[in-house]
Amino acid sequence: MAIQITSITDGCITGGHKTLTVNDEGTTRIFNTTLNEVDELIEQLGGNQQAKKVLIMLWAAYRRSQSRTITGVNIA
């Protein structure tokens, strides 16, 4: 099983808050964020290409920690 985003809902009309519900290995987890927070993180990482690199590295680390294969995994 993988981490799966099951829903994204608006938490606040004016603040752009989002609530992400995630299925994490059978456990439901909820994360709160804003689109501005995501944009700031991507900017701090050095843009979209660097953000993709970090995503891939984090995903590989997660898969390795679970004793799972790293190659042949789609991040869609």
Note the pLDDT of residue 12: 66
Note the pLDDT of residue 67: 85
Note the pLDDT of residue 3: 80
Tell me the whole-structure pTM to 2 decimals: 0.63
Contact 34, 17 (CB under 8 A): yes
Q: In the sheet where 17-24 sits, what is the strand order? A: 3-10, 17-24, 27-34
Which segments of the chain have a pLDDT < 50? none
In the chain, what are the domain boundaries? 3-65
What is the distance of C-alpha 42 from the center of its chain? 12
